[in-house]
Structure 1
Amino acid sequence: MTETLPGHAAAPDFERRAAACRDRLTGVPGGARSGDAWLFARLVAAREVRGELALLGLSAHALTALAQRHFTADAVVPLMHLAHQAPVVEATHAAFVASMREFLIGLAAPDVDAADAQCLATILAYACLRPDHLWRDLGLSGRDDVTQMLTRFFPEVVARNREGLRWKKLLARELARATGGVPGPAPGCPGCEDFAFCFPQGHE
């Protein structure tokens, strides 16, 4: 048991709070009406409990529409009232986000909801700006979660990862190849603990 020192508040248990938020969004404790609803509830809950919904990159309209598609009616109204704007990013990073989003949308599986694919492409593009492994940036449990998510929505991305690269590195590389750029790290990669492992010379 971890003791709290006098005068110090206990650190927030974000994992427990995110699980409770996820269950509230889906209305199904420990589950959801569909696999897609479960995924988006996890992604939204991970940011909501930290007051970081803006980091998803979704507009208020897109977030509300996503909630209406997948979450309970009781969960939609609170999200509508959480007015926010997408985070302000540098011009070069904004161009990266826009390009990554369009790149992923172009690779979306034909059997997924187009609006869901657009939302997930946005969420992934913004996550590439943050300095950690992609699964942590998304609030998921591990690399396998990202693999399953990409397999469902963007299977061509998974098919291209023949070398077993970290997903953020793979996404940045494939975007560069698709746009005629020079492969290199995503904007958030330099802050990651494994940057030297993925880019031993500082670049691809």
Structure 2
Amino acid sequence: MSEPHVRPFVAACAVDANSQLHMGITTYRLLTGVPPADADIANDSNLDRHVLASILAAATMDGGSLPEKVGLSVVELAALLEQYFPSTEIKAAEQASPFRSEEDEEIVLLRDLLLKQRSTEGDIGRWLAAMIARRAIEPDHLWEALGLRNRGELSLLLSRHFAPLAARNVNNMRWKRFFYRMLCENEGLGMCTTPVCTQCNDFNICFGEESGESRMAERRRDLLLQAAAWPAMASGRAFEMPGESATAPSSEEASPDLEAARVG
């Protein structure tokens, strides 16, 4: 699959161009044939497809250039789609303009860290390193920025494809915070104000709860509220969103050093 096959994917994801609320679920279903809530990740192959589809779905919800939002070139994205989502709908189309990304130093550092800690063979580890590094600069929890249903799926992903690095997070630190801590240690920089984490004022920032609704589940809640207020606008539409949690969405207080490191 080459560059000409990327534009149909982007166009197909924009089935309802007037609503960002529908974009993620539409993209995921186009790629996998099922709604995110029904994704079966019981084996490694299914987990990989679910993760890739989730990242692509989250990126389409953000709008803008899809290759840029996922951290891949047009050629890399085309190869990923051909290998994991060989859909005839996605293939039937016209050319896409080549995308050339400017190397962001922060993204490059995290991507290289992940690449050095790969534990699987093939292209997927390389693609995921780039995708995770790009999505990590988004303000959400990392699992949310990747479009996953919960933090546990992110831990499974990292343990499968970046096992040596994942194994170092022995205290279950938030993954984005943990990545930046590893980068600081590699550069010989100090990130912590105290030698013991339990004595640190930023303890909740590093180890606080990361549960809550996924981004697409939040969109479903918003959609239902809109449907209640404007039933005419929602008539004849049915939407299924990924797994929802009974708990309320979590929030994070920003701290100066957290904001500087983009570990929201």
Q: TM-score, normalised by structure 2?
A: 0.57
Question: By how many angstroms is 1:183 displaced?
Answer: 3.4
Q: Which residue of 2 aligns with 1:136?
A: 144
Equivalent residues of 2:73, 2:99 under 8 A apart? yes
Equivalent residues of 1:58, 1:86 under 8 A apart? no
Q: Which runs of 5+ in 1 are unaligned?
A: 1-9
Q: Which residue of 2 aligns with 1:5?
A: none
Structure-1 separation of matches of 2:76 and 2:92: 15
Q: Which residue of 2 aligns with 1:24?
A: 30
Residue 68 in structure 1 maps to residue 82 in structure 2: yes
Length, aligned pairs only: 179
Q: Which residue of 1 aligns with 2:252?
A: 194
Indicate the structure (1 or 2) with the bigger Cα radius of gyration. 2
1:136–1:87: structure 2 CA closer, same or farther, 3 Å change rule? Answer: farther
Structure-1 separation of matches of 2:166 and 2:94: 34
Q: Which residue of 2 aligns with 1:100?
A: 110
Higher mean alpha-carbon deviation, 44-53 vs 128-137, is at 44-53
Equivalent residues of 1:26, 1:72 under 8 A apart? no
Aligned CA-pair RMSD? 3.3
Residue 55 in structure 1 maps to residue 65 in structure 2: no
Structure-2 separation of matches of 1:107 and 1:180: 19
Higher mean alpha-carbon deviation, 99-108 vs 25-34, is at 25-34
Question: By how many angstroms is 1:130 displaced?
Answer: 1.8
Matches within 5 A, 1:1-204: 12-14=20-22, 17-27=23-33, 30-31=38-39, 34-52=46-64, 53=66, 54-77=68-91, 81-83=95-97, 85=99, 88=102, 94-109=104-119, 112-183=120-191, 194-196=252-254
Q: Which residue of 2 aligns with 1:6?
A: none
Higher mean alpha-carbon deviation, 74-83 vs 18-27, is at 74-83
| 2:172 counterpart SS class | coil
Question: By how many angstroms is 1:69 displaced?
Answer: 0.9
Q: Which residue of 2 aligns with 1:4?
A: none
Q: Which runs of 5+ in 2 are unaligned?
A: 1-17, 193-204, 206-250
| 1:100 counterpart SS class | helix
Higher relative contact order (CA 8 A, sep 6+): 2
Which amino acid counterpart does residue 116 of structure 2 have in structure 1?
G
Deviations 1:107-161 (A, max 9, x none): 111xx34311111111111122222211122122221121111111112222111
Question: By how many angstroms is 1:164 displaced?
Answer: 1.7
